[in-house]
Amino acid sequence: MLIGGVLVITRKNAVHSALALIVTLLAQAAIYLMLYAPFVAGVQIILYAGGIMVLFLFVIMLVSIERTEKERQFNKQWLVGIVAAGALGGLFITVYSKGQSIFPDRALPIAEAQNTQVVGTMLYGQYMFAFEIASLLLLVAIIGAVVMAKKRI
């Protein structure tokens, strides 16, 4: 996953970057699997690697590669970058060192075989409202895209 992530930002060719991003996303799905979350892993593969990245590639392929290769790859905001990276690294170190007190329950609360069913029950039971709001947000995005793409409806 790390190798893929580094390749995403260092490749000059945008299509190579996109392929490295796919590797990263698949590795992320594998991490979900190792965390006993097969449903999330499956959705990750379908949505990100299968759906979104295909559209990414679709767009990137139509952009001229010669022009993008001449563009400068790194910009000059290295100070902000270092601060942000340091903050994120500090967060990771804190979580890693104090992880046991923050996430005390290390045992798996539910059996792996029941994972999908439990996710379903939670989404449509306990978190129904948040789920519906999220789908409303997506609907707004779809309508917005249609309005922007079509001048005359």
Partner 1 sequence: MGQIIQYIQSYLRTKDLTPGAAGNVFWALVYIMLVFAGLSVAVIAMNWLERKILAHMQVRLGPMRVGPHGLLQPIADALKLLLKEDIIPAEADALVFWVAPFIVVLAAFTVFVVVPFGPTHAITDMNIGILFMLGVSSLSVLGIVTAGWASNSHYPLIGALRSSAQMVSYEVAMGLAVVSAILMTSLNAEGTGTLSMIGIVQAQQAQAEWFIFKFFPLGLVAFAIFAIAMVAETNRAPFDLPEAESELTAGFHTEYSGFRWSLFFLAEYSAMIAVSSIAVTLWLGGWLRPFPALHGPSITIAHVWPPADPTAPTGALDFVLALFPGLTFLFLAGMCFYSTVRMPKHPFFRIQTIGLAGFGAALALIGLILFWPPVRDRVGDIYWFSAKVAAFMYLYIWYRGTFPRYRFDQLMKVGWKILLPIGLGVLILTATVALLQTIWHL
Q: How far is the CB of 103 from partner 1 (least distance, A)?
A: 24
Q: How far is the CB of 116 from partner 1 (least distance, A)?
A: 6
Structure tokens at 43: 């959705």
Measured distance between the N- and C-terminal CA atoms of the chain, rounded to whole angstroms: 44
Q: Which of 6, 50, 82, 122 is close enough to bind partner 1 by CB under 8 A?
A: 50
The verdict on 23 binding partner 1 (CB under 8 A) reads: no
The verdict on 27 binding partner 1 (CB under 8 A) reads: no
Q: How far is the CB of 20 from partner 1 (least distance, A)?
A: 11
Binding to partner 1 (CB under 8 A): which residues in 51-110?
Answer: 51, 53-55, 57-58, 61-62
The verdict on 21 binding partner 1 (CB under 8 A) reads: no
The verdict on 112 binding partner 1 (CB under 8 A) reads: yes
The verdict on 150 binding partner 1 (CB under 8 A) reads: no
Burial (CB < 10 A; 0-12, 13-18, 19+), residue 135, is exposed
Cα–Cα distance for residue pair 139/147, rounded to 1 Å: 12
Q: If DSSP codes are grouped into helix, strand and coil, which group holds residue 145? A: helix
CA atoms within 13 A on the CB side of 121: 6
The verdict on 126 binding partner 1 (CB under 8 A) reads: no
Q: If DSSP codes are grouped into helix, strand and coil, which group holds residue 11? A: coil
Closer to partner 1 at the Cβ: 5 or 15? 15
Cα–Cα distance for residue pair 14/21, rounded to 1 Å: 10
CA atoms within 13 A on the CB side of 16: 10
Residues that bind partner 1 (CB under 8 A): 13, 15-16, 19, 22, 38-39, 41-43, 45-46, 49-51, 53-55, 57-58, 61-62, 112-117
